[in-house]
Amino acid sequence: MDDPAILGGPPVRPDGPPDWPMAEPAVRASLEAAIADGSWGKYQGPAVPALEEALAAFQCVPHVLTCASGTLAGEAALRALGVRAGDEVILSAYDYEANFLNVHAIGARPVLVDVDPCNANLDPDRLEAAITPTTKAILVSHLHGGIVPMSRLREIADRHGIPVLEDAAQATGATVEGRRAGSWGDVGIVSFGGSKLLSAGRGGALFTSKPELLQRARLWLSRGIQQWAALSELQACVLLPQLSRLPERTAHRRKQVVLLHDQLGDVLGLTLFENSAADCEPAYYKVGFFLDADRFGLDRELFVKAMRAEGIAFDVGFRALQMGRGASRFRAAGSLEHAETAHARVVMLHHPVLSLGPEEVEKVALAVRKTYRNAERLRGS
């Protein structure tokens, strides 16, 4: 029974990872109501403004603008902040690639800073050395359950008069030092992509407390009288009931991660991301770990392959943004050694299993421990 599935043993989860999004009666009821009243196919229906109002209340910000994707929201936010060709935008060297490419889409230059070695998220203490007279914005993401200490980052940004774009696409529903992730930035963004905690297949939104930034983003996203990449009524219909349940589901996922951490206490070489920010509550769209291949006994690719054979949705982390790119594509602000470590060592557990009961999280731990015990056999296979 201890044989790893990759070597022919029975998988821990024979049916594989749970589907996402989950079947939800409230989502079905919302769709049926939109079909019944005919609003599902309208340009100007009730669901999109209702969603924007609900998101504003949830984020505790006055202004929300929805659009067709989180990536698009990120570009609109950069443009609203006044980023232009020739400017510099500071961001973490370990980040979602679309953020880097959005900077290039505007003609600006990404400036990469190193990450906190405990969670592979942007290290605010690296910001001062990266700032120059051409710095136009700081782009900060909360990734894999990691949380950036935003009060420290804001203190630096405000002292230098630099606006902040806060990407909460992986942290929708999280709190950072007592405030919602996404509400610390001059502009915050989220994604409603098919794998996200709030899912509509596609879509995104930006948040701001500054009406002039909202107007700039709205103008850029408009062609004449209407938005050229708008969120649809159908998408808003499925998001509204999900948003109403997000706080309880976020709390549930946090409890599951604590349980998983406790269950893996005897496993060497697999370290859960740690946060230094005070009073933070991650949302856990993905759960980030560092895998030390020497201590665990397996390299990252074989670990992921073995876990997926067990029916557990682990994956490798992001490619660090400096890797495989010419020096002309970015400016490195100092050493990026911790980002290179993240590039080589991060693995992440996808969130759907965290929405289930404790017994399913115990299966994740069981699969990890089985893989760990059989590392030598797996290396020789």
How far apart (Å, rounded) are the C-alpha atoms in residues 282 and 145? Answer: 5
Query: What is the tens place of the pLDDT at every residue in 101-151?
Result: 999 999 999 999 999 999 999 999 999 999 999 999 999 999 999 999 999
Q: Which residues of the chain have pLDDT under 70?
A: 1
Helix (H, G, I), strand (E, B) or coil at 340: helix
Radius of gyration of the chain, Cα coordinates, nearest whole angstrom: 21
Count how many Cα atoms sit within 13 Å of the Cα of residue 229 in the half-sphere of its side chain.
18
How far apart (Å, rounded) are the C-alpha atoms in residues 226 and 44? Answer: 10
Alpha helices in 110-210 (DSSP H): 127-130, 150-160
Asked if residues 140 and 181 have their Cβ atoms less than 8 Å apart, the reply is no
Q: Which amino acid is at 205?
A: A
Close Cβ partners of 19 (under 8 Å, ≥ 6 residues apart): 352
Query: Which residues does residue 107 pair with via DSSP β-bridges, in sequence order?
Result: none
- Provide the whole-model pTM: 0.97
Per-residue pLDDT at 1: 56
DSSP 8-state assignment for residue 108: -
Q: Which amino acid is at 134?
A: T
How far apart (Å, rounded) are the C-alpha atoms in residues 111 and 294? Answer: 32
Give the class (CATH, top level) of 25-242.
alpha beta
Close Cβ partners of 41 (under 8 Å, ≥ 6 residues apart): 233
- The yes-or-no answer to whether 5-21+243-380 and 25-242 have a common fold is no
The architecture in CATH of the region 5-21+243-380 reads: Alpha-Beta Complex (3.90)
Two tokens, residue 138 = 């700081």
Going from N- to C-terminal start, the domains of the chain cover 5-21+243-380, 25-242
